[in-house]
Amino acid sequence: MNALIVYDSVFGNTEKVARTIGEALGANGQVDTLPVSQATMDKLRGLDMLIVGSPTRSFRPTPAVSQFLKTLPKNHLAGVQVAVFDTRIWLDTIDSSVFRFVVNKGGYAASTMANVLKMKGGQLFVPPEGFLVTGEQGPLKEGELERAASWARQIQLAK
Ligand SMILES: Cc1cc2nc3c(=O)[nH]c(=O)nc-3n(C[C@H](O)[C@H](O)[C@H](O)COP(=O)(O)O)c2cc1C
């Protein structure tokens, strides 16, 4: 397996998830975990798996992740298995019911990223996943890094 994990992270939570997934996957092949700022097109050559992770910011991926996805040439991911995850606020930690409703209804970065990656020819082989933070800037909810490691193991089985 030759896999690349590309992530963005403003406060460090998504980076922790990305690195945990990378370590869990790394036991079984070549896995690089790179911030999106370092994910140049040559890093995508010869991959059989691409995983993209982003914080959800205003219902979407960060501008850097959106730009990265946008600049992938058409069909660039043909034959590549793709998976996506985001981090997002845990609804139980939002006091205002109106705000909770809006955040939930607004949607999350992972599904947007999945749609773009599919448009670029990637084969989405596991559903988009979200990992929870307990406040606007984190930290991650307890147990989320363990869940990330277990998601990575699931990915290996699904592949
Ligand atoms: C400006 C801003 C907008 C945000 N928008 C959303 C949102 O639409 N939905 C959501 O679930 N969380 C939202 N959050 C919480 C982020 O998802 C959270 O900051 C992120 O998961 C932390 O990841 P990071 O540490 O990798 O940046 C927002 C946070 C900020 C600061």
| Residue 80 pLDDT greater than 80, yes or no | yes
CATH 2.60.40.3120 assigned to 2-158:
no
pLDDT tens digits for range 31-49: 999 999 999 999 999 999 9
139 CA distance to ligand 1 centroid (A)? 11
Query: What would the two tokens of residue 24 be?
Result: 């869990």
> What token pair was written down for 112?
């947007």
Please work out whether the CB of residue 62 comes within 6 Å of at least one atom of ligand 1. no
Name the residue ranges covered by the structural domains of the chain. 2-158
Closest C-alpha to ligand 1, atom 17 = 88
- pLDDT above 80: residue 159: no
Ligand 1 atom closest to Cα of 9?
A: 26
With a cut of 90, say whether residue 137 has pLDDT above it.
yes
Mean of all residue pLDDT scores within the chain: 95
43 within ligand 1 shell (Cβ under 6 A): no
Average pLDDT rounded to a whole number, residues 89-114: 96
**pLDDT (mean) for 106-118:** 97
> Ligand 1 within 6 A of 112 CB?
no
The answer, yes or no, to whether residue 27 has pLDDT greater than 90, is no
Q: How many residues does the chain have?
A: 159
Compute, in angstroms, the gap from residue 12 CA to the centroid of ligand 1: 11
Residue-level pLDDT at 29: 81
pLDDT at 146 over 80: yes
Global pTM value: 0.97
Nearest atom within ligand 1 for CA of residue 89: 11
Instruction: Report whether residue 128 contacts ligand 1, using a CB cutoff of 6 Å.
Output: no
pLDDT at 156 over 90: no
Q: Bigger pLDDT: 46 or 156?
A: 46
- Using a pLDDT cut of 90, give the percent of the chain over it: 93
